[in-house]
């Protein structure tokens, strides 16, 4: 990771189901492969057969006695009406803008009717599946392969996927016509990845990490005069880590503090030291002290997959998210809602808790996976939750990813998910220069090339070096272009994958580069076995998402009403001075930028020496930050005036 951490954005997907509903904002996703015929009197659950379940990978029928755990997600009373209502209340041009429903109203209008639940339950039990849980979103079932094959009228076979073998349907699963309208999707008919044995207890604080100096206190305050030039000039040392005061000034927070607004954060697991760490950090850096009850956690009854998901590794993610939101919006309430694991079903459960009880106005999410690992079924389940949130005035913000176009990471150009959903705000990343007296100087798109100091100290080996990380972005292969992107996203980007205009990512951006990152404080475990609080610089779009969520809390305070799903309003402001139009060359086309860094070779102290490198800014894989909309920073980063523009209906 080097001396600046980027944070975790992986979730292990377990999924399967129906395509997204068509509409102005969310549109259909193609199935993973061509549907196969289904028996008469039944309705296909399109997309419920994963793309990796091919004939060449088929290893034969799954043992009839093997166990299947599945969720049958419910479509609710009026799925088309849900889409239409979510669009209307989110569109500033609609007369119904802001006419949000309470959770009870949404449940009565769009939730599953008791008769639907009863009918679906009878069907599943009649096939021999045992119902293990029922809520307003899904019916969980368990049984052997024979029962699952009977229920969904398909066979399950074992298929090779990489170095492992998983079972999956051989043909398109289906539901009886009598209950098909009540069924949104079924997940779990394929069992990739393999479920780990569940554990009830979380591990202690994760391994310690520290940055090595020297540092700049603000961008450019400490020039590395003893190091070789980069791009024809001496470069500054990386900042120690920006604080809330600097971020609030850079993005025009003004006097707003987020009072009256609640921001939820979802991640996997829960840090056992978060309250003490957040309190200590705020006291050290001039952030407002937490009020009693201002920070709280909602945790599941038990945790699972703690080894598979590296549970303690998620503590830093939660710490970053909580401390960044509080630093930007110091009076906002913060509720952390923990997933029982890093798997999609558990993270989706965490999001559903927020919607079902309307725990927050704004939801920051710093996790995700590559689009190739997303199935249409789990996408449909996520989107229904996002739409239900929209009708209640809840907005979801997702980090766009930390691997640029994903080619270096996966070999294939693609975007990340759930940031690819048409119903969330995807947050990209920038490299931020905050100067003396907290003055905003410039931003570039976040994209890093790294070159190490030559052994003789005379230059940088292989300058400008290899790509390490950058803000995720690109064109979705599965989600069509939503209405709010029309006329803003150039066709050269929207049609990058073919003739159809597709969803592009991100929508908006904020600081993400670890080299211009945020200082966080966290209790960690050190090599000698001791456990103590320390601070380090951190970055990634996992930083950008909570920063934007905090700024949206300030904007909601200005509006004095929930903003809800923010994208239509964000794109309505496109091209105005309310955004910094971020480019990779803010100081001129011939002026490349870089910072110098020293890292501890062992990550904690100088015992094993230092590693010196130069990190170029604005070099994000094949992606570029340019004038106008781009696939690194979207419409740009919030500028002074953005927050207060929500006080009145926006007119450009």
Please list the residues that pair with 466 across neighbouring strands: 450
What are the angstrom distances between the C-alpha of 305 and each of 11, 37, 194, 197, 266? 11, 37, 10, 6, 17
| Bridge-based pairing state of the strands 440-445 and 425-434 | antiparallel
Q: Report residue 158: phi and psi, to 5°.
A: -90, 135
Comparing C-alpha atoms, which of 546, 76, 135 is closest to residue 345? 135
Q: What is the pLDDT of residue 200?
A: 35
Kindly report, residue by residue over 12-46, the tens digit of the pLDDT.
333 322 222 223 343 333 333 445 678 889 998 86
d(CA 334, CA 290): 10
d(CA 385, CA 388): 5
Comparing C-alpha atoms, which of 532, 518, 539 is closest to residue 604? 532
d(CA 552, CA 549): 5
d(CA 556, CA 397): 14
Comparing C-alpha atoms, which of 73, 551, 584, 514 is closest to residue 324? 551
* Contact between residue 23 and residue 380 where contact means Cβ atoms under 8 Å apart: no
* Contact between residue 191 and residue 166 where contact means Cβ atoms under 8 Å apart: yes
Q: Where are the beta strands (DSSP E) in 229-348?
A: 262-268, 295-298, 333-339
Give the tokens for residue 359. Answer: 């725990």
Q: What is the pLDDT of residue 271?
A: 95
d(CA 522, CA 588): 39
d(CA 90, CA 175): 33
Please list the residues that pair with 440 across neighbouring strands: 434
What are the extents of the domains in the chain? 212-252+355-647
* Contact between residue 337 and residue 268 where contact means Cβ atoms under 8 Å apart: no
Q: What is the pLDDT of residue 35?
A: 55
Cis peptide preceding 418, ω within 30 of 0:
yes
d(CA 574, CA 591): 26
Kindly report, residue by residue over 329-339, the tens digit of the pLDDT.
999 999 999 99
- Tokens 């207060």 — which residue? 644
d(CA 102, CA 108): 10
Which distant-in-sequence residues (6+ apart) come within 8 Å of 244 by Cβ? 285, 286, 287, 324, 326, 327, 328, 330
DSSP alpha helices (H): ranges in 528-566? 541-559
Would you give the DSSP letter of residue 182? G
Q: What is the pLDDT of residue 652?
A: 61
Give the tokens for residue 139. Answer: 């019916």
Please list the residues that pair with 70 across neighbouring strands: 141
Q: What is the pLDDT of residue 206?
A: 75
pTM of the model: 0.93
Hey, what CATH class is 212-252+355-647 in?
A: alpha beta
* Contact between residue 235 and residue 592 where contact means Cβ atoms under 8 Å apart: no
Please state the separation of Cα 405 from the chain's center in Å.
Answer: 15
Residue spans of the chain under pLDDT 70: 1-36, 46-48, 193-204, 651-652
Which distant-in-sequence residues (6+ apart) come within 8 Å of 86 by Cβ? 25, 387, 388, 390, 391, 423, 565
């Amino acid at each position: 990771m080097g001396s600046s951490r980027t944070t975790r954005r992986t979730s292990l997907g377990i999924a399967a189901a129906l395509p997204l509903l068509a509409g102005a904002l969310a549109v259909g996703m193609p199935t993973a492969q061509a549907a196969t015929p289904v028996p008469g009197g039944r309705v296909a659950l399109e997309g419920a057969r994963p793309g990796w379940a091919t004939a060449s990978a088929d290893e034969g029928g799954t043992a009839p006695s093997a166990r299947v755990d599945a969720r049958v997600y419910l479509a609710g009373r009026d799925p088309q009406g849900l889409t239409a209502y979510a669009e209307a209340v989110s569109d500033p041009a609609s007369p119904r803008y802001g006419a949000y429903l309470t959770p009870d109203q949404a449940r009565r209008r769009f939730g599953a009717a008791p008769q639907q639940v009863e009918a679906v339950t009878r069907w599943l039990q009649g096939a021999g599946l045992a119902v293990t849980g029922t809520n307003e979103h899904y019916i969980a079932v368990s049984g052997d392969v024979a029962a699952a094959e009977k229920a969904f009228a398909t066979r399950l076979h074992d298929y090779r996927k990489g170095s492992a073998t998983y079972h999956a349907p051989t043909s398109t699963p289906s539901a009886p016509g009598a209950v098909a309208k009540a069924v949104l999707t079924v997940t779990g008919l394929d069992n990739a990845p393999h479920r780990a044995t569940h554990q009830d207890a979380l591990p202690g604080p994760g391994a310690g990490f520290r940055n090595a100096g020297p540092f700049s206190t603000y961008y450019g305050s400490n020039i590395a005069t003893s190091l070789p030039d980069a791009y024809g000039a001496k470069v500054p040392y990386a900042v120690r880590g920006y604080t809330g005061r600097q971020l609030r000034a850079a993005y025009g927070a003004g006097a707003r503090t987020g009072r009256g607004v609640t921001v939820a954060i979802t991640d996997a697991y829960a840090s056992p030291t978060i309250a003490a760490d957040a309190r200590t950090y705020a006291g050290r850096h001039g952030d407002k002290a937490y009020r009693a009850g201002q920070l709280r956690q909602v945790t599941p009854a038990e945790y699972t997959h703690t080894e598979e998901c590296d549970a303690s590794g998620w503590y830093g993610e939660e710490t970053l998210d909580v401390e960044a939101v509080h630093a930007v919006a110091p009076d906002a309430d913060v509720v952390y809602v923990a997933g029982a694991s890093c798997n999609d079903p558990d993270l989706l459960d965490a999001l559903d808790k927020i919607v079902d009880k309307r725990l927050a106005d704004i939801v920051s999410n710093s996790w995700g996976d590559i689009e190739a690992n997303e199935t249409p079924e789990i996408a449909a389940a996520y989107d229904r939750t996002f739409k239900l949130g929209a009708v209640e005035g809840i907005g979801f913000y997702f980090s766009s990813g930390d691997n640029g176009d994903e080619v270096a990471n996966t070999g294939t150009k693609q975007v990340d998910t759930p940031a690819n959903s048409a119903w969330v705000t995807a947050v990209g990343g920038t490299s931020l220069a905050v100067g003396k007296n907290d003055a905003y100087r410039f931003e570039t798109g976040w994209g890093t090339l790294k070159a190490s100091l030559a052994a003789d100290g005379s230059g940088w080996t292989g300058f400008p070096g290899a790509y390490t990380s950058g803000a995720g972005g690109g064109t979705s292969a599965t989600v069509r272009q939503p209405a709010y992107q029309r006329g803003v996203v150039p066709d050269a980007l929207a049609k990058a994958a073919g003739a159809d205009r597709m969803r592009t990512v991100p929508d908006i951006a904020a600081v993400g580069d670890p080299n211009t990152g945020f200082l966080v404080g966290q209790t960690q475990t050190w090599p000698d076995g001791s456990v103590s609080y320390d601070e380090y610089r951190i970055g990634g779009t996992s930083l950008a998402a909570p920063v934007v969520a905090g700024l949206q809390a300030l904007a909601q305070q200005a509006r004095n009403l929930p903003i809800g799903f923010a994208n239509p309003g964000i794109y309505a402001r496109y091209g105005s001075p309310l955004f910094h139009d971020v480019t990779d060359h803010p100081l001129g086309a011939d002026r490349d930028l870089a910072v110098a860094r020293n890292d501890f070779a062992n990550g904690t102290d100088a015992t094993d020496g230092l590693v010196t490198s130069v990190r170029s800014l604005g070099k994000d894989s094949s992606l570029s930050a340019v004038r106008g909309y781009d696939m690194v920073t979207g419409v740009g980063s919030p500028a002074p005036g953005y927050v207060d523009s929500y006080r009145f209906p926006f007119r450009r």
